[in-house]
Structure 1
Amino acid sequence: MRLSRSFLPTLKENPAEAQITSHRLMLRAGLIRQTSAGIYAWLPAGLKVLRNIANIVRAEQDAIGAQEMLMPTLQSSELWKRSGRYDAYGPEMLRIRDRHERDLLYGPTNEEMVTDLFGQVVKSYRELPQVLYHVQWKFRDEVRPRFGVMRGREFYMKDAYSFDVDYDAAVDSYRRMMLAYLRTFQRLGVKAIPMVADTGPIGGELSHEFLVLAPTGESGVFFDGAFEEQDWLSEAVDISDRESLAKFFARMTSFYAATDEKHDEAQWAKVPPERRREGRGIEVGHIFHFGRKYTESMDISVSGPDGAPLYPEMGSYGIGVSRLVAAIIEASHDEQGIIWPQSVAPFAAVIINLKNGDAQCDEICERLYAAAPEHLLYDDRGERAGVKFADADLMGHPWQVIVGPRGAKAGIVEVKNRASGERSEMPVDAVLAHIGVGA
């Protein structure tokens, strides 16, 4: 993308309405704009980040055998009345009535719909297990939406649902999903710690939240500092083997980690004082096992081994894709702006032309840009160098490729790493390989 022609409106000043860093930087870097309370439009650069995150989430879901589908945002109230949640959910549910006086709702979650769809298709225990997921917009009518996309009313989310023949198989699905989440967050470049958590309105008996540590987090967290020192993905785990999954889960849960809602002072006292860590965390994922809560309440059964009706065990697994954009920024920024991990950045690098109109500078910039236009932002504006550098730091591109007239004469450019600040000079032909894009 050429910056001179882009829809990428950066701001020099902090917007008055933004209270936390991610909200300020998302507005200033031209990622989002508010359209109404708690509802945001995602501008081109912001949408690229959103898609990059969603694609990594999809890849790791597919890797454990989950199948992607797409369920509608509007749901019939009858499904929720069958489960008993229509009246119990509360005012966060946006209720709608169509022209035929039918009651609908803008889905805040999809347990009822996916259970009904499952029941229409799967008839025998031999067809289990099934894990279905989608990435879809959801709506919860927060009484006080704030902090930008961190706590908006409309949000983009991956939610998956597992159906298993019995409890042991359901726990296997739960553990498999926990492993997928750890792999997902590692690829996203964030450290998200799974913590014992409350099940909330979803229901259930086994629950972990994944939290990114940040001072602006809404949840209080308590965890064993030794947890952060572990490389949880260093050992191969066979996702088809129950014993391998059990060993992984036992190792994962051997260190104390809990949100304030589930904090246990007696267990906390057993953690050596020098390893106790307290702070705040941003919830970016939540996994539940809730058994037959929905299959029984909605009377969705399959034929069991003896021919009798069998109610499958279920689990629910969410990742806040839009919230992750803000969480990554909260965990990765400095005074100048965002510092994107390369896996989610809207552009791998920005090409900064220090002297528009100089034949050699223009030629080098055009050559680099033409080699990988989908990965590069070309700042071809007729602005001062200081403005270009400030915007590059603000937008957080992992790399800055700086093309000036002195180096251009010798076929040399300067490359800056946004995270470390390290600068190096190199021949033009070496740049793309150095920043990890192109052939």
Structure 2
Amino acid sequence: MKQSRTFIPTIREIPSDVEIISHQLLLRAGYIRHHMSGVYSYLPLAQKVLRKIENIIREEMNAIEAVEVYLPTLQQADLWEETGRWQTYGSELFSLSDRHDRQMALAPTHEEVITSLVGDEVKTYKKLPLTMYQIQTKFRDEKRPRFGLLRGREFIMKDAYSFHSTDDSLEEKYREMMEAYSRIFSRLGLEFRAVLADSGSVRGGKSHEFVALSEIGEATIALSDSSPYAANIEMAEVHSDYTKPKGSMIELEKVETADHKTIAEVASFFNVDPSNIIKTIIFHADGNMIAVLIRGDHEINETKLRKALDVNVLNLASEDEIEKALSCKVGSIGPVKLPLDIKVFADNAVMEIVNGICGANENGFHFINVNPERDFAIDNYLDLRFIKEGDRSPDGNGTIRFAKGIELGHLVKIGDTYSEAMKASFLGEDGNYQHFLMGSYAIGVSRILASIAEQYNDANGLKWPKKLAPYDIHLITINMNDEIQTNLSNDLYHLLKTYRYDILHDDRDERAGVKFADADLIGLPIRITVGKLAKDGIVEVKFRETGETVEWQKEELTEKLQSFFN
């Protein structure tokens, strides 16, 4: 491709409102352009990279006998109402109506559509298992789009869905998908980890995320320093042996604490460690008010709480609701003498507190020398806190350290969650009708583009892996008015194309410095420069990955390039 004939609008300056390196470079190198908040145009270079990413995904999906489909982006509300997600999905769902006032949505995902399709067409276990996938644009009305392609309102995703008659069949496909995902991200050259993940609203569903390790990632991963254990911190269990320390219990006492409300303020006022303070948090769990207790130096994990209580809707109670129920403000809440209809759940660490401190359910007062079980009842002790760095690894091997990551893929066993709600069933081998067992498997394709850019760059621009670069070779002619240079460039262009290299030929009438700067920004694996030594049949070759520059004769070029690319 002649560079003068394609569209690569490079930018010299870093946009002031762009936070992360991948977003900066994809904009500066002319891969994407901002359209509106969370929405981008993919320009010719980005399209070429995306096609290569998609081809790798297709090859691995086809290898495990998944078949490609293309499902409607515009979906009728009726299907979403069958599963209840029209009401529960929330404000991130793009909803609209047609001229006949029929409610519809722009698809953020396709569980309802694929379940309806298979439920209508597959009537016997003999047609199972069945796995279908697609690659298409999705829509999500993100409250705060950020980080370019990593969190947008319009994005490209691969989503696959498998249908089964038995748990064993679903488990086998889940394992195949795990292996396929590992191959995909390995072939893409990404540094990644597979981690245990939250299955969302699917109760008891097995789930994993694949994350690209990156300091700008929004996911925090708990990793063992001595084993392969890895989990999203929302899912990492805490395995600590809590025991009550020795010592006698002292009589409960109420103390005026004025305006000291936060854990830090209360700890400073009493000159104690936050670990000896009981923090009480009030939630609504499926409409019922509950109290959750946690040590002052720990943080409540709402994902664990929701799963432990097996509830669908979990929300913090408002300040007005708390004041009405307990006659005190948030900073004075405690577990002593709570209303009888409020159940109390405590993190396991609370059981080891002796003579602790908590709110007195009276503004400006706290209890000291408070002891669980003696001074208040607990309905259940549970693992409710976030794991911390330095905690014992849940698998018993080593201790936990944290890393940041970008979520690239998500696998979850959704079982009969959708098929039961939508009455999608088939005739089983035993002659009875049963609901389909399903798996859902997603990959963020546009996120991969950004993640590779995040991991492969230097101060001068992008550094694409050979298999993903939009072109193999950047051929630069220094002086397009020099007949010897243009003739050699044209000869090389046509010669290299016969060897099936994809060539970007910079034939623009620009200064050499501009061409070199653009080449580094764009980040192709090899740069071949035709300059003053063209009269001797010599070209300069630069390897983008290492920055190494060598001079090669025209006659040895193809052999050495073959060695590099193979």
2:539 equivalent in structure 1? 413
Shift in Å, 1:201: 4.5
Shift in Å, 1:208: 0.6
Whole-angstrom CA distance in 1 between matches of 2:203 and 2:511: 57
2:95 equivalent in structure 1? 95
Shift in Å, 1:203: 5.9
Counterpart mapping for 1:370-389 below 5 A: 370=494, 371-372=496-497, 375-389=502-516
Whole-angstrom CA distance in 2 between matches of 1:99 and 1:61: 39
Q: Which amino acid aligns with 1:59?
A: E
Whole-angstrom CA distance in 2 between matches of 1:434 and 1:221: 42
Equivalent residues of 1:204, 1:288 under 8 A apart = no
1:260 equivalent in structure 2? 233
SS in 1 for 2:10: coil
Equivalent residues of 2:219, 2:407 under 8 A apart = yes
Unaligned runs of 5+ in 2: 240-391
Shift in Å, 1:85: 1.2
Is residue 214 of structure 1 aligned with residue 214 of structure 2?
yes
Whole-angstrom CA distance in 2 between matches of 1:113 and 1:51: 25
Shift in Å, 1:225: 5.5
Is residue 351 of structure 1 aligned with residue 475 of structure 2?
yes
1:331 equivalent in structure 2? 455
Shift in Å, 1:191: 2.2
**Which protein is richer in helix relative to its size?**
1
Shift in Å, 1:374: 7.0
SS in 2 for 1:261: coil
SS in 1 for 2:88: coil
Equivalent residues of 1:432, 1:438 under 8 A apart = no
Call closer, same or farther: CA 1:37–1:201 in 2, change over 3 Å: farther
Equivalent residues of 2:222, 2:231 under 8 A apart = yes
Shift in Å, 1:438: 10
Query: Which one is further off, 378-387 or 320-329?
Result: 378-387
Q: Which amino acid aligns with 2:524?
A: H
Equivalent residues of 1:204, 1:293 under 8 A apart = no
Q: Deviations over 1:366-409 (max 9, x none)?
A: 12222428711111122222211111111111111122221x22
Q: Which amino acid aligns with 2:231?
A: A
Unaligned runs of 5+ in 1: 228-254
1:69 equivalent in structure 2? 69
Q: Which amino acid aligns with 1:392?
A: A
Is residue 294 of structure 1 aligned with residue 418 of structure 2?
yes
Q: Which amino acid aligns with 1:385?
A: A
SS in 2 for 1:87: helix
1:242 equivalent in structure 2? none
2:526 equivalent in structure 1? 399
Shift in Å, 1:2: 1.5
1:426 equivalent in structure 2? 552
Equivalent residues of 2:472, 2:526 under 8 A apart = yes
Whole-angstrom CA distance in 2 between matches of 1:29 and 1:201: 40
SS in 1 for 2:405: strand
SS in 2 for 1:344: coil
Shift in Å, 1:346: 1.0
Call closer, same or farther: CA 1:202–1:397 in 2, change over 3 Å: farther
SS in 1 for 2:169: helix
Equivalent residues of 1:358, 1:405 under 8 A apart = no
Q: Which amino acid aligns with 1:257?
A: A
Whole-angstrom CA distance in 2 between matches of 1:167 and 1:59: 26
Counterpart mapping for 1:351-370 below 5 A: 351-370=475-494
Q: Deviations over 1:46-93 (max 9, x none)?
A: 111111111111111011100000001110111111112111110000
Call closer, same or farther: CA 1:430–1:283 in 2, change over 3 Å: farther
2:287 equivalent in structure 1? none
SS in 1 for 2:85: coil
1:30 equivalent in structure 2? 30
TM-score by length of 1: 0.89
Shift in Å, 1:265: 3.8
User: What is the root-mean-square deviation of aligned Cα atoms in Å?
Assistant: 1.9
Q: Which amino acid aligns with 1:126?
A: K
TM-score by length of 2: 0.69
Whole-angstrom CA distance in 1 between matches of 2:129 and 2:493: 48
Q: Which amino acid aligns with 1:196?
A: L
Q: Which amino acid aligns with 1:416?
A: K
Q: Deviations over 1:327-364 (max 9, x none)?
A: 11111111111111122211112111123222222122
Query: Which one is further off, 76-85 or 133-142?
Result: 76-85
